[in-house]
Amino acid sequence: MPTPFIALDKLDKRYSDHHAVKSIDLDIEAGEFIAIMGPSGCGKSTTLRLIAGLDAPTGGDIRIGGDSMRGVPAFQRNTPMVWQSLALFPFLSVVENVAFPLRMQKVGAARRRARALEWLDRLGLAGMAERNIAQLSGGQRQRVAIARALVTEPSVLLLDEPLSALDAHLRVRMQTELSRLHRELGITFVYVTHAQSEAFALADRIVIMSEGRIQQVGRPQDVYRAPANAFVAEFMGMNNLVRGEVRGGSGGLLEIGSALGTFQVPAETPLPAGARGDFVIAADRITLARGADGPGISGTVLGLEFVGSTQTVFIETEGGAEFRVQKQQHEIEALDLVPGRRVTLSWDPRHAWLLPQAA
């Protein structure tokens, strides 16, 4: 197997009162775009700081390009980071901000200015080189921060929630810009974010973390459709978790009994009766019908959330469980879905995903 460009080997980080990263393993290939996601305090930003050399691990190792980073300081790694706060220098001009890393590398004044101007041009800021940082918009400042990170021509770029301070329109534009840069440069991007939409739009693979541990690594569509455990299923937001118990099965389908009823769920291997049979069904896989008399789960519409061309319908079942269902606007209108409307939920058994059994 080829050697990964970045390898985290049993990487561990403890602070005096907190175990932030717990012996994680992760291989990142050269040129990959990796997004690390998880709730606040899960260890994702700490992992990024460890790769950058801004914090020292208390266990394990980091290898970049096959070389151990043990004892290698941040300024020798050439792993620049784009921060959420951007961390631009207000007392320097735009071009001076971009050239600053080259100044630290003792590149001559003429050469570093030329390279800084080149990167400003690539990011559409060539006419703003002499401006003060305070004169720029949020999106322009973001581009200055990216240009500053890339001016040293690194082989890896680290990004810690770089778009979180931007409004929705600018976030979409900067996602497009980052995707373009990744394609053109062919370097490795490691991107920390809370935003599922950013990760899905940008990343080749997604890493889900919780309480300092990696819960799942995979392509966005695999993590969404085939979560590794209940935490991932619930974290992804648009999966509905049904907890149940195996009652039997045949022909590649298990019969799962739950408080909501009995369901058939595909399974690659049979499980014995009495085994846990928790499964998920994605919000966009559920069919809704008006009324509560048909086959399926009866419920009541609690509310609707508008998310562009689709809406998320929140439904409380007769058993007290809450389901989320995603539908196109025209489907919502055809069903006249309003709070208080009685509905029936159903789905194709093939679209249910049985959660893997805990080890």
Overall domain count for the chain: 2
Is residue 359, in this structure, part of any structural domain at all? no
Q: Please write the tens of the pLDDT for every residue from 79-127.
A: 999 988 788 899 999 999 999 999 988 999 999 999 999 999 988 888 8
Is residue 194, in this structure, part of any structural domain at all? yes
CATH of the domain at 315: 2.40.50.140
What's residue 226's pLDDT?
93
In whole angstroms, how far apart are CA 138 and each of 98, 166, 253, 307, 319? 16, 7, 53, 24, 48
Domain shared by 251 and 211, yes or no: no
Domain shared by 226 and 249, yes or no: no
| Percentage of the chain modeled with pLDDT above 70 | 99
316 neighbors 259 (Cβ within 8 angstroms) = no
- Higher local confidence (pLDDT), 1 or 45: 45
Q: Is residue 268 very low, low, confident or very high in pLDDT (cuts 50, 70, 90)? A: confident
What's residue 172's pLDDT?
83
Domain shared by 304 and 342, yes or no: yes
Q: How far apart are CA 309 and CA 287, in angstroms?
A: 18
| Containing structural domain, residue 268 | 238-354
With residues binned 3-state (H G I as helix, E B as strand, rest as coil), the percentages for the chain, rounded to 5, are 30, 35, 35
Q: Average pLDDT in the 242-268 region?
A: 92
- Higher local confidence (pLDDT), 354 or 87: 354
Give backbone dihedrals phi and psi of 4, rounded to 5 degrees, phi first: -65, 150
Domain stops at, among 178, 200, 234: 234
Domain stops at, among 213, 234, 255: 234
Q: Is residue 7 very low, low, confident or very high in pLDDT (cuts 50, 70, 90)? A: very high
Residue 121 CB neighbour total at 10 angstroms: 13
Domain shared by 113 and 12, yes or no: yes
Greatest distance between any 2 Cα atoms in the chain:
78
- Higher local confidence (pLDDT), 76 or 11: 11
Q: What is the dihedral of CA 43, 187, 145, 87, to 10 degrees?
A: 30
What's residue 303's pLDDT?
95
Q: Average pLDDT in the 274-293 region?
A: 91
Domain stops at, among 234, 251, 280: 234
Q: Where are the alpha helices (DSSP H) in the chain?
A: 44-52, 94-104, 109-122, 138-150, 168-185, 196-202, 220-225, 230-235, 329-335
**Residue closest to 80 by CA, chosen among 119, 49, 114:** 49
CATH of the domain at 42: 3.40.50.300
- What average pLDDT does the structure give for the chain? 91
Model pTM score: 0.88
pLDDT at position 310 over 80:
yes
Looking at the DSSP bridge assignments, the partners of residue 248 are: 255
Q: Average pLDDT in the 179-186 region?
A: 92
Q: Please write the tens of the pLDDT for every residue from 14-63.
A: 998 899 999 999 999 999 999 999 999 999 999 999 999 999 999 999 99
Helix, strand, or coil (residue 111): helix
Is residue 1, in this structure, part of any structural domain at all? no
Residue 271 CB neighbour total at 10 angstroms: 17
Domain shared by 267 and 200, yes or no: no
Domain shared by 247 and 195, yes or no: no
Domain shared by 39 and 89, yes or no: yes
Residue in this structure with the two tokens 């208080």, named with its chain if needed: 340
In the sheet where 261-266 sits, what is the strand order? 244-250, 253-258, 261-266
Q: How far apart are CA 51 and CA 74, in angstroms?
A: 9
Is residue 314, in this structure, part of any structural domain at all? yes
Looking at the DSSP bridge assignments, the partners of residue 189 are: 33, 157
User: DSSP character for 75?
Assistant: G
What's residue 357's pLDDT?
77
Domain shared by 66 and 199, yes or no: yes
Q: Is residue 294 very low, low, confident or very high in pLDDT (cuts 50, 70, 90)? A: low
26: which 2 tokens? 């992760």
Q: Please write the tens of the pLDDT for every residue from 211-242.
A: 999 999 999 999 999 999 999 999 988 889 99
What's residue 308's pLDDT?
72
Q: How far apart are CA 191 and CA 180, in angstroms?
A: 15
Annotate 137-167 with DSSP letters as a single string. -HHHHHHHHHHHHHTT--SEEEEESTTTTS-
33-37 and 188-192 beta bridge pairing: parallel
Residue 171 CB neighbour total at 10 angstroms: 20
| Percentage of the chain modeled with pLDDT above 90 | 73
Give backbone dihedrals phi and psi of 59, rounded to 5 degrees, phi first: -170, 155
User: DSSP character for 58?
Assistant: S
Domain shared by 69 and 39, yes or no: yes
Q: Average pLDDT in the 334-356 region?
A: 93
Domain shared by 25 and 168, yes or no: yes
Domain shared by 69 and 14, yes or no: yes
Q: Is residue 1 very low, low, confident or very high in pLDDT (cuts 50, 70, 90)? A: low
